[in-house]
Structure 1
Amino acid sequence: MAAGADSGVIRRSTLRQQIADALRDEVLAGRLPCGHAFTVKEIADQYGVSATPVREALLDLCAQGLLDVEQHRGYKVHAFTADDFRAMVEARTLIIEGIFRGGADKALRETPGEVLVSIRRRAEEAERAARAGDLDVLIGYDLRFWRELSGIVGNPYISDFLDRVRVQTWMFAVPLLRRETDLRGHLWQSHGALADALVRHDLREAQRLIAEYNEHSLALVGTPG
């Protein structure tokens, strides 16, 4: 009886995460635009599931700052402002600089070679998508790249916080970027250079690339610092 109950909880938890991931992807792709309102029932009907895991998934996304609760009406996609974006870029910079100051060199030297290879592979895929102007593919590999890169310090709170801020910056940037007819050559594509700098333990070069990336991000969406 207890084992069956545990199995039910695991299945519901897995479904909750799957729904949250799917909705996050919809938001990042711009298919659920900022300000778009919906109800638990609409999402449950869309995915053919009960209301409980949907409600839990939506509350998870609210906690991540991606959705807002509309009292007695449902939920809507959060709308970030240009000021929010500038603050988020500053926040992600401070997180990454904190990683570099907090013993990243030692962490890199102790990082297994296969982990660095995986980070380099993510970098190559992100660069390829950036050069092609493929925003949807770029976002996926970009988030994985930074998630793995931040993971070298072994602190899940840092990785989770950085991932949350990066998702939010993409949420703001995507609608603006989609106004461009052709993004080839306009997206930042130095993931590989950053990965190489880290493999060489050249933290100064890595910090320079991060600063370059931030300037590029702000200029690209028209929100200079």
Structure 2
Amino acid sequence: MPGNGYGSGGSAVTRSTLRQQIADALRDEVLAGRLAPGQGFTVKHIADQYGVSTTPVREALVDLSAQGLLESDQHRGFRVHRFTVDDFRTMVRARALVVDGIFRGGSGRPAGSFDVRALTSVRRRAEEAARAARAGDLDVIIGYDLRFWRELAEAVGNPYIADFLHRLRVQAWVFAVPRLRPDPRAARWLWGGHEHLVDAATRGDAEAVRAEIRSCDAQALAWADHLDGASRAPSATPGTPGTAPPDRAGPGPGDRPGAA
């Protein structure tokens, strides 16, 4: 992270860029689970950590608060928002409504209409995301999965919808990461149907696209139910609600599950 670099003439641009860099860095820390849900910190702490002034840090933290990732802690600083299972269910249902509208033609373009050239890039993201899902590699799949969904939404041609869906998916991953990371069965909960979805989009088959997305969302809701069941089970290990209880089997090897 660079220093503040303020100077006459370019200070506004420099500060804006630094603000975004700090926001991106902290978002990555939250997504990686290095900033845990409920963990608090002050503006000064972050400024000292990155060797910058407090102004762009405060602006970055306010931005992340507006995105629902942080919350203000009564003049004591900020803390990472703690999402609940019910919050996660709401995210999944909200994005399902939006995506269904997109592929019914609600984006202002005909249903199933994609920028075919954009799908080339989307396919590369799909291949990497699916590979990481099969390997259970959280550190890799998060970035590729987020880029996959963002680029897919942008291929429909509405940047406002793409931004909204991206925010929902970031929040979903923030919820999922601390629950998946200690789970030895995490790979079985990671959705890996990205390539199937791109295939359907390339064919222009809007119904097949929607079916793939419904499958992903249904599995995400099933995972939420699993978390509730695991947290109530007497044999559940505290702090690892993503671990399957002995009396409930996870998805079979042929399934394509989707935690986030």
Check whether TM > 0.5: yes
How far 1:54 sits from its partner (Å)?
Answer: 0.4
- 1:104–1:43 Cα change, 3 Å: farther
Amino acid corresponding to residue 19 of structure 1 in structure 2: I
Structure 1 unaligned blocks of 5 or more: none
> What residue in structure 1 maps to residue 76 of structure 2?
73
Q: Which has the higher helix share?
A: 1
Quick one: distance in 1 between partners of 2:157 and 2:10? 30
> What residue in structure 2 maps to residue 107 of structure 1?
113
Task: Flag as ranges the 4+ runs of structure 1 deviating above 6 A.
Answer: none
- Which one is further off, 143-152 or 183-192? 183-192
Q: Does the residue aligned with 1:49 lie in a helix, a strand or coil? A: coil
Quick one: distance in 2 between partners of 1:154 and 1:100? 12
> What residue in structure 1 maps to residue 57 of structure 2?
54
> What residue in structure 2 maps to residue 92 of structure 1?
95
> What residue in structure 2 maps to residue 194 of structure 1?
197
Query: Of 10, 17, 20, which residue of structure 2 is paired with 1:17?
Result: 20
1:173-197 superposed Cα distances (whole Å, 9 cap, x missing partner): 1111112125334411100000110
Identity of paired residues, percent?
A: 61
8 Å Cα contact 1:126-1:141 kept in structure 2: yes
- Which protein has greater RCO, CA pairs closer than 8 Å, 6+ apart? 1
Quick one: distance in 2 between partners of 1:21 and 1:147? 16
Q: Does the residue aligned with 1:107 lie in a helix, a strand or coil? A: coil
How far 1:104 sits from its partner (Å)?
Answer: 4.7
- Which one is further off, 213-222 or 191-200? 213-222
> What residue in structure 2 maps to residue 210 of structure 1?
213
How far 1:136 sits from its partner (Å)?
Answer: 1.5
8 Å Cα contact 2:133-2:191 kept in structure 1: yes
Q: Does the residue aligned with 2:186 lie in a helix, a strand or coil? A: coil
- 1:104–1:196 Cα change, 3 Å: farther
Query: Of 39, 43, 47, which residue of structure 2 is paired with 1:36?
Result: 39
RMSD over equivalenced CA pairs, Å:
1.6
TM-score by length of 2: 0.80
Quick one: distance in 1 between partners of 2:91 and 2:217? 10
Amino acid corresponding to residue 67 of structure 1 in structure 2: L
TM-score by length of 1: 0.92
Quick one: distance in 1 between partners of 2:200 and 2:55? 46
Q: Aligned runs of 1:139-218 on 2, under 5 Å?
A: 139-218=142-221
